[in-house]
Structure 1
Amino acid sequence: MALLALEEAIARVLADAVPIMDEESVPLRDARLRHLARDLAATRTQPPFSASAMDGYAVRHADIADGTGELRVVGTSSAGHGFGGGVGAGQAVRIFTGAPLPEGADTVVIQENVERHADDRITFREMTERGRHIRAAGLDFREGDRLLGAGDILDAGRLMLAAAMNHAEVPVRRRPRVAILATGDELVLPGETPAVDQIIASNGFGVRAIVEEAGGVAIDLGVAPDDFASLDAAIDRGDAAGADVLVTLGGASVGDHDLVREALSRRGMALDFWKIAMRPGKPLMFGRLGRQRVLGLPGNPVSSLVCAHLFLRPLVIRLAGGIERDDRRTAVLGRAVGANDERQDYMRARLSLGDEGELVATPFERQDSSMMRVFAQADALVVRPPYAPAADAGEPCVVHCLREGPITRGA
């Protein structure tokens, strides 16, 4: 049976994946990077009053039209402490940035253009046109204006705007729920003492980070031993938690103790595909179990995370209503690589800048799919298409960036 091409496998995983439209209300402080469920209108006008844009003096322009003469300072207006009276003929009010403009004033003269005398008189050094240095009420927005739209991501600027609109809580789309189940008698959790034939369960922590960075909620189903009763109980917990996606880690291959695929099939999973033409990650499983999408990631740590980057991340982003960022870049190889076989290869590599500012991707010499240290040190995955010929250092390549951040010059 021919292995499924990677592009076809990704297309099947993402087919009919549409944003979750369920709505929930959350405090604004907890809404960072959430998607608005509905349009949001302002509940107040901003600024709510005409305010000074500079430190200076609020005056009637009629009193300074010729740029000469003197006025008497009758009070002060500062932010949060407006002047209670008005400005009459021959009068001025000392005013500070953000303070309400007193009634009767129509111009602010900046303090650099004013000379203040000991008896609260001021004179002017130059002309100021009518209306200068005033932010009119409603300059930014008015009550009832719809300023944020359904589907908008609440980033720093939009959170600030929502706060100014006086929304303490906002309606947002529910985040995709992703249940993560590690499987295998050989696994124990970090902090526990493994037996001589056991290892620490590590894959789930990396997968959880990918889910959360993509905008999802990770549901930890723990570690299930290699028996059907334990697997069924864990799958039930994920269903009870309302998981939209069930991710299994390991146990989906063909060994005598690989029971995950059979356990899911017994429950009615419709298997879409199993085994794809990629390295690492050949034993990748995808199917549907009722309303849930099921993604069976390989047990080897690097295979698990590479597949999570390529398949799970874009799925969660789509379900969350986001648009996936294209993390591919063109680069040149930092060292020679051999010819490839029928599987698309993703080689862990470090990135650097060459002497001409070009992006250089240097694959690690050891590419074993169990080597977590290499993956943690990698900045990118060098993509080697099926049957790609051997390539020398300096030849072009395509990379998937694994992390954001500065790239240093030199290897």
Structure 2
Amino acid sequence: MKLLAVDDARARILAEIAALPAETVPLARSIGRVLAEDVAAVRDQPPFAASAMDGWAVRSADCPGSLKIVGESAAGHGFEGRVGAGEAVRIFTGAAVPAGCDAIVIQEDATREGETVLVPAIAAGRSVRPAAGDFKAGAVLLTRGTRIDPWRLSLAASAGRAEVSVGGRARVALLSTGEEIVQAPATPGPFQIYDSGSPALAEMVESWGGTAVRARPVRDELDAVIAALRDADAELIVTVGGASVGDHDLVRAAAVVLGLSLRVESVNVRPGKPTFFGVLGDGRRLLGLPGNPASAFVCAEMFLKPILSAYQGAPTAPATMPARLAEALPANGSREHWMRAKLTYADGGVSVRPYRDQDSSLISVFAASDALMRRMPGAQAAEAGTVVEVLPLSRA
């Protein structure tokens, strides 16, 4: 069985993924989706000079002095007249600065005396947010290929968009195999365990811009696995378990019956060596992940996330960053190792400490981790302080 390096395996996989047709969705439903268009502002933001503070809108040339109060400007209800010499307008944060005014005296610095207000000297422009200070009409605020998160959604909303065009949302069928797997709240038998892999993978798929379709666990019988693969209504089928070559690992054999053409037979990675990828006879893509949850989750970060990005027209590799080892590590073996680890941000830098027990069955270790640390095949022993490559994991 041919072992491919992680980067080579990902390149082969992405070569088989074509972007799906774009669709228009309400902005509120675009989180996690990738823009299929540029988003430009329909008007200036703010569209008028606005007050940054509660206080008094004044003409700086009239200050200091006692000014006549001629009105009020509140957010959404501006003062429509023009402020003349010796006049002031009560104003609130976010409200439009009246015509004729060029500064805001904050309320703490002013003293109201009936229908007049006593104000100190002030420089023009003080506490005034200029019109178009954030962006101008027509400015491109978000470009095609950008993934929408809550902050970018806010920017698109401020640009006046209620809908956006985004890359297609791939349907992903998740199939768990193995007689030992049961789904909660069912009561497991004495030799069974709860399915902890596919529920998490379903949430990953949804957060990465796909639509997860979960099937019930499939028993270890070739006909049952064939039927499950045949009936999966999805662009991409992701199997969890049964990816290796043991007597009870039937996914590959079942897929061969359905015309599987392998693109990736196995990956030189720890954990996750049995991971494979291919194309079924009817064109559906098949990603086979190992059954151990940690192995499945690591390989989901390495391969499934980029696949879903590619379906949306924005193929990507994992976004890593440098960090310094918090403790020495021994030499690595022959496989690329993505170690579950903990990051610490201090003294203007980032340090990483991999967990000592990297057994791929330990879900608790993955739950405690906030990063994966990459060690290349044959990497030499590394001292504390050595710069290494880490992939931060999303944590709420």
Same fold (TM over 0.5): yes
Q: CA deviation at 1:286?
A: 1.2
Q: Which has the larger radius of gyration?
A: 1
Residue pair 1:364, 1:374 contacting (<8 A) in 2 also: no
CA deviations on 1:330-363 (whole Å, 9 max, x unpaired) are 54474664773x4444455566799998835355
Q: Any idea what SS the aligned residue of 2:267 has?
A: coil
Q: Any idea what SS the aligned residue of 2:228 has?
A: helix
Q: CA deviation at 1:238?
A: 2.9
1:403 and 2:393 are equivalent in the alignment: yes
Q: CA deviation at 1:72?
A: 2.5
AA matched with 2:148: L
Residue pair 2:328, 2:383 contacting (<8 A) in 1 also: yes
CA deviations on 1:291-344 (whole Å, 9 max, x unpaired) are 43211112233332332232223333343426444335454474664773x444
Match in the other structure for 2:46:
47
Q: CA deviation at 1:247?
A: 0.9
TM-score, length-scaled by structure 1: 0.77
Question: Which one of 286, 307, 310 corresponds to residue 302 of structure 2?
Answer: 310
1:326 and 2:326 are equivalent in the alignment: no
Match in the other structure for 2:180:
186
Q: 1:140 to 1:393 in 2, by over 3 A?
A: closer
Residue pair 2:111, 2:119 contacting (<8 A) in 1 also: yes
The worse-fitting range, judged by mean Cα deviation, of 182-191 and 76-85 is 76-85
Q: 1:172 to 1:115 in 2, by over 3 A?
A: same
CA deviations on 1:166-212 (whole Å, 9 max, x unpaired) are 33333322333322111123321122122334332222133334434
Match in the other structure for 1:22:
22
CA deviations on 1:355-390 (whole Å, 9 max, x unpaired) are 99883535525x44334344444555555544556x
Match in the other structure for 1:409:
none
The aligned runs of 1:125-136 (5 Å cut-off) are 125-126=120-121, 128-129=123-124, 134-135=128-129
Q: CA deviation at 1:248?
A: 0.9
How far, CA to CA, are the matches of 1:259 and 1:393 in structure 2? 43
Q: 1:102 to 1:198 in 2, by over 3 A?
A: closer
How far, CA to CA, are the matches of 2:345 and 2:126 in structure 1? 50
Residue pair 1:24, 1:174 contacting (<8 A) in 2 also: no
Residue pair 1:56, 1:108 contacting (<8 A) in 2 also: no
The worse-fitting range, judged by mean Cα deviation, of 182-191 and 205-214 is 205-214
AA matched with 1:29: A
AA matched with 1:15: A
Aligned residues: 393
How far, CA to CA, are the matches of 1:298 and 1:310 in structure 2? 13
Residue pair 1:333, 1:392 contacting (<8 A) in 2 also: no
Q: 1:137 to 1:303 in 2, by over 3 A?
A: closer
The worse-fitting range, judged by mean Cα deviation, of 8-17 and 64-73 is 64-73
The worse-fitting range, judged by mean Cα deviation, of 288-297 and 329-338 is 329-338
Q: 1:87 to 1:281 in 2, by over 3 A?
A: closer
Q: CA deviation at 1:232?
A: 3.9
Match in the other structure for 2:252:
261
Residue pair 2:230, 2:258 contacting (<8 A) in 1 also: no
TM-score, length-scaled by structure 2: 0.80
How far, CA to CA, are the matches of 2:42 and 2:63 in structure 1? 41
How far, CA to CA, are the matches of 2:341 and 2:137 in structure 1? 53
1:280 and 2:271 are equivalent in the alignment: yes
How far, CA to CA, are the matches of 1:89 and 1:395 in structure 2? 66
The aligned runs of 1:191-270 (5 Å cut-off) are 191-239=185-233, 243-270=234-261
Q: CA deviation at 1:287?
A: 0.6
How far, CA to CA, are the matches of 1:77 and 1:214 in structure 2? 44
Q: Any idea what SS the aligned residue of 2:217 has?
A: strand
Match in the other structure for 2:291:
299
Q: 1:86 to 1:206 in 2, by over 3 A?
A: closer
Q: 1:364 to 1:351 in 2, by over 3 A?
A: farther
Q: CA deviation at 1:404?
A: 5.7
Q: Any idea what SS the aligned residue of 2:3 has?
A: coil
Q: 1:244 to 1:134 in 2, by over 3 A?
A: same
1:150 and 2:149 are equivalent in the alignment: no
Residue pair 1:363, 1:382 contacting (<8 A) in 2 also: no
Question: Which one of 95, 100, 105 corresponds to residue 110 of structure 1?
Answer: 105
Q: CA deviation at 1:165?
A: 2.8
How far, CA to CA, are the matches of 2:208 and 2:296 in structure 1? 16
Residue pair 2:56, 2:91 contacting (<8 A) in 1 also: yes
Q: 1:162 to 1:355 in 2, by over 3 A?
A: closer
Q: CA deviation at 1:143?
A: 5.2
Residue pair 2:69, 2:117 contacting (<8 A) in 1 also: yes
How far, CA to CA, are the matches of 2:394 and 2:271 in structure 1? 22
AA matched with 1:306: V
